Amino acid sequence: MVQTIRDANLPLPGTHVRILKAVCYVQACTARRIAQRMRRDKAQITRVLNDLLEAGLISKACNPADKRSHLLHPTPAGEAMMQRIQELEQQTLTRMTCDLTQAEVEHFIRIAWHMTQNLEGDLPPDS
Alpha-helical (H) ranges within 26-101 are 31-38, 42-54, 76-96
- Mean pLDDT score across all residues of the chain: 89
Encode pLDDT of 3-39 as tens digits: 777 777 788 888 999 999 999 999 999 999 999 999 8
Mean pLDDT of 65-72: 91
Q: What pLDDT, on the 0 to 100 scale, is given for residue 85? A: 93
Nearest alpha carbon to residue 74 among 25, 9, 15: 25
**CATH class for the domain made up of 2-120:** mainly alpha
